[in-house]
Amino acid sequence: MNKHQQSFTAAKNGPSPPTADQIHQRRKTPTNILSLDPDIVCTIFALLDMFDLVRCSLVCKLWNAIVESRSLREFCERNVKNSSSEFTEKPWRVILGEMVMEQHRLALLDGGFYVDQWKGHSTTVAQCRMKMGVLGTGVGDKVIRLWSLDSYKCIEEHSMPATFPLIDFDFDESKIVGLIGSHLCIWRRNGKRSIFPSLGGKFVKGSCMRYLDPEAVVGCDDGAVRIFDMYSRRCSQILRMHPVPITCLCLNEDRLIISGSTSGDIRISDPSSVQQVATLRSSDVRGIRTMCFNPSSQLLFAGSAVGCAYCWDLRTRKLLWSNRVCPNVIYSLQHMQNDTSTLVVGGIDGILRLLNQNDGNTVACFSMDDKLLSTFQSPSGSVQRIKGQRLPEDDLINIEHLVSRTDRPSITCLAVGMKKIVTTHNTNDIRLWKFRS
Amino acid sequence: MKMMKPYVWLQTSDDSIQQVEQEIAMFCPLICQEIIQKGMGSSKNCAICLPQQVSPAMLSLILDYCRFHQVPGRSNKERKSYDEKFVRIDTERLCELTSAADSLQLKPLVDLTSRALARIIEGKTPEEIRDIFHLPDDLTENVEVEEEHVDDRSVDDLLSFINGNDGGKLNILTILIFVFT
Q: Please state the ipTM of this predicted complex.
A: 0.77
B49 near B41, Cβ under 8 Å? no
Residue A288 backbone dihedrals phi, psi, to 5 degrees: -90, 130
Q: How far is CA A152 from CA A121, A134, A169, A421, in A?
A: 13, 10, 21, 14
Contact assignment for A63 to B135 by CB distance below 8 Å: yes
- pLDDT digit of tens for each residue in chain A (437 aa)? 343 443 333 333 434 444 444 444 444 445 566 767 777 888 888 888 777 777 787 788 888 777 777 655 566 565 554 444 444 555 555 666 777 788 888 888 888 899 999 998 888 899 999 887 789 998 888 888 998 888 888 888 888 876 678 889 999 888 888 888 778 888 888 776 666 665 554 557 788 999 988 888 999 888 888 888 888 878 888 888 888 899 999 998 888 899 999 888 899 988 888 676 788 887 777 889 999 999 888 999 999 988 899 999 988 889 999 988 888 899 999 998 878 899 999 988 888 999 999 998 888 888 888 788 888 888 888 899 988 888 876 665 666 677 777 778 899 999 998 888 999 998 889 999 998 87
**Is residue A26 domain-shared with residue A130, that is, in the same domain?**
no
Contact assignment for A52 to B123 by CB distance below 8 Å: yes
Please tell me the total number of residues recorded for chain A in this structure: 437
Closest CA to A432 of A377, A383, A392: A383
Distance, CA of A46 to CA of B82 (rounded, Å): 24
Q: Which of A17, A131, A338 sits opposite B15 (nearest CB)?
A: A17
| Contact residues on chain A for B96, CB-CB shorter than 8 A | 30-31
Domain ranges of chain B: 7-121, 139-180
**Helices (H) then strands (E): counts for chain B:** 10, 3
- Domain interval for residue A404: 112-158+287-435
**Is residue A296 domain-shared with residue A431, that is, in the same domain?**
yes
Residue A146 domain-assigned?
yes
Structural domain count of chain A: 2
Residue A377 domain-assigned?
yes
**Is residue A18 domain-shared with residue A141, that is, in the same domain?**
no
**Is residue A85 domain-shared with residue A12, that is, in the same domain?**
yes
CB contact, 8 Å: A1 with chain B?
Answer: no
A98 Cα to chain B: minimum distance (Å): 9
**Is residue A293 domain-shared with residue A350, that is, in the same domain?**
yes
> What's the angle, vertex CA A253, arms to CA A247 and CA A256, rounded to 5?
45
CB contact, 8 Å: A189 with chain B?
Answer: no
Contact assignment for B163 to A93 by CB distance below 8 Å: yes
**Is residue A414 domain-shared with residue A321, that is, in the same domain?**
yes
CATH number at residue A292: 2.40.10.480
A334 near A342, Cβ under 8 Å? no
Residue A351 domain-assigned?
yes
3-class secondary structure, A373: strand
Could you write out the DSSP letters of every residue in A16-58? SPPPHHHHHHHHHS---GGGS-HHHHHHHHTTS-HHHHHHHHT
Distance, CA of A348 to CA of A412 (rounded, Å): 7
Q: Which of B95, B139, B178 sits opposite A36 (nearest CB)?
A: B95
| Contact residues on chain A for B111, CB-CB shorter than 8 A | 43
**Is residue A310 domain-shared with residue A420, that is, in the same domain?**
yes
Burial category of A119 from C-beta neighbours within 10 Å (exposed 0-12, middle 13-18, buried 19 and up) = middle
Q: Which fold has domain B7-121?
A: Potassium Channel Kv1.1; Chain A (3.30.710)
Q: Which of B55, B111, B126 sits opposite A55 (nearest CB)?
A: B126
Closest CA to B83 of B116, B53, B59, B58: B116
Cβ pairs bridging A and B (under 8 Å): 156
Backbone dihedral region for residue A143 (phi beyond 0: left; psi -120 to 50: alpha; all else: beta): beta
